[in-house]
Amino acid sequence: MAENKVLIEMGIRAKAASRKLAAASSAEKDKALDAMAAALLENQDKILAANQTDLEAAQANGMSRAMLDRLALNPQRIASMAQGIRQVASLTDPVGEIVEGIVRPNGLRIQKTRVPLGVVGIIYEARPNVTSDAAALCIKSGNACILRGGKEAINSNIAVANALRQGLARFGFEECVQLLEDTSRETAAQMMRLREYIDVLIPRGGAGLIKSVVENSTIPVIETGVGNCHVYIDEFASRDMAVSITVNAKTSRPSVCNAAETLLVHKSAAPGILPDLARELKNAGVQLRGCEETRKLLSDPDIVPATEEDWATEYLDYIMAVKIVSSIDEAIEHITRYGSGHSECIVTDSYASAEKFTSQVDAAAVYVNASTRFTDGGEFGMGAEIGISTQKLHARGPMGLQELTTTKFIVYGNGQIR
């Protein structure tokens, strides 16, 4: 693959800036974050004008209403981006924490100390607020970042990044935020091989983007996002809780990764719960796709047969697959086979069922009697999140500031040799 000089220059600048930032105190970083927020507000007109250019191009290209809404900025949204940066400033700085510390028999004092990762690469899609959110989390955790947003939002992203850099420049940290203005796929592929300058790559977006990063990156990747989540209603579930959790998990925000996609119901619980639940879901606008037994039980012609593909699909929409299972083991097997390791829920009043489900289901978050929708950095008390990891290395589940750090062992001796 050809080298990309612009990208390499960017990497060199980011790496150098990351060293400077790593040495900064929490107070210095917080001041820089405040300046970023202020600069966003000061540049509101420029940002809105750039966003207008993106919106016009998107409309001309026939972008859907929902996507246009995600792309659109207004004074309120810019204020909320600035507010988000200030909120990140208010969080506890993870850098410098001594995670473990021991003294060895030979007197060596070994301190495992939290330090920034260095340079974080983030590849994302349409929403311009990711530019400021991601930059703020990186700065707070002492990292420089190289951001590569989608081409639909490029003018907005350039305007936002310029504002952030203008704020950072007041403290000499402007090179800590780099935005890749060239949004071609080839350049993204080159970025994924910039091992020398980028310490970790985080893709944020749909399954296609994430797959492409995982397959092409030589930089360590934190895989985020795909959530084929299940609610399992156990034999011993409370009817009201089963209905309210399932409806919430499916309909409170169907477009996000922690929304439920498939409902599994124990055959003993199905007759007493599923008819009411199906009605509530239908009233909320959800189309159901059922296994044969579900369709027999509910005898509703609107419920289409679920196919093998349905079990594997993350709809991100008002659609839910439904399967009646003959045991909790069958439910766990189904989740093991089709789940994406994101968020899984059991509704049960049985201690044994709860124990079995939480120990045998292999996912970032396993819930007993609570909606899958809680898998979120804010809901988990992290203050903010850079994404939700569905891989097992480094971070699993919502990632906050701590997950944007690594550790180093600092070892103090007085002449020890081996």
The residues that touch a second copy, with contacts defined as CB under 8 A, are: 19, 22-23, 102, 104, 108, 110, 115, 117-118, 195, 199-200, 214-215, 218, 220-222, 238, 240-241, 244-245, 248-249, 252, 336, 354, 358-360, 362-371, 373-375, 379-381, 391-394, 396-397, 406-418
- Rounded CA separation 292/270 (Å): 13
**Minimum separation from the CB atom of position 366 to a second copy (A):** 5
- Are 114 and 97 spatial neighbours (Cβ–Cβ below 8 Å)? yes
Cβ nearer to a second copy, comparing 35 with 273: 273
Cβ nearer to a second copy, comparing 140 with 342: 342
Cβ nearer to a second copy, comparing 215 with 309: 215
- Rounded CA separation 198/10 (Å): 10
Cβ nearer to a second copy, comparing 185 with 337: 337
**Minimum separation from the CB atom of position 265 to a second copy (A):** 17
- Rounded CA separation 418/411 (Å): 14
**Minimum separation from the CB atom of position 103 to a second copy (A):** 10
**Minimum separation from the CB atom of position 394 to a second copy (A):** 4
Cβ contacts of 284 within 8 Å, gap of 6 or more: 247, 250, 251, 318
- Rounded CA separation 81/68 (Å): 18
Cβ nearer to a second copy, comparing 69 with 196: 196
**Minimum separation from the CB atom of position 70 to a second copy (A):** 20
- The amino acid at residue 262 is T
Radius of gyration of the chain (CA): 24
* Cα of 271 vs its chain's centroid, Å: 37
- Rounded CA separation 362/87 (Å): 33
Cβ nearer to a second copy, comparing 75 with 409: 409
Query: Phi and psi (nearest 5°) for 395?
Result: -145, 140
**Minimum separation from the CB atom of position 339 to a second copy (A):** 12
